[in-house]
Amino acid sequence: LVGMERERYLAMKFGWPQRAASIYGAVAGAGHSERIPFDFEKIRCMPNTIKSHRLVCYADRFGIQDTMVEALFRAFFFEGDNIGEDETLLRVAVLVGLEREATATFLASEDERDTVLAEDLRARRMGISAVPYYLVNGDYGISGAQDSEAFFPLFDLARNALVAE
């Protein structure tokens, strides 16, 4: 499975188009203020990201995990590329310095799939349903793009718990 049509995905995730537009508008606005050129209109497909997560694991073997993550984010959020497709993943891999044939062999295998699926299960068990996810003091979490004010109650809870110890 390479992905799902974006409009269908947004309807399932957010319920109605106005809610999705509001959330993505806030993210785009925050990005603009930081000179991050999000272009959500270019995204036509919400990809299955198992292979892209596996590719991040593969890149880590070469010490370029962060570079790979940034390149995948750029491909998806700036260019609207489907980062669930092998050709896109191979193009990004070469862009960050990985060898195309070795990367193609890796992607054709099941290597790191169990690792990615185990991490996904672990995140779901922790109640993580959106990214980014912030965990404060290992006990208090908040999901998704949030205004800074949303963190204050979380910090208060964490501080009060530390004081109580």
Q: What are phi and psi of 102, to 5 degrees?
A: -65, -40
Residues in the chain: 165
pTM higher than 0.95, yes or no?
no
In this structure, which amino acid lies at residue 131? V
Residue 164 has what pLDDT? 87
Low-confidence ranges of the chain (pLDDT < 70): 1
In this predicted model, what pLDDT tens digit does every residue of 32-71 receive, in sequence order?
Answer: 999 999 999 999 999 999 999 999 999 999 999 999 999 9
- Name residues whose C-beta falls within 8 Å of residue 70's C-beta, 6 or more positions apart in sequence: none
Domains and CATH numbers, the chain: 3-125 (3.40.30.10), 129-165 (no CATH)
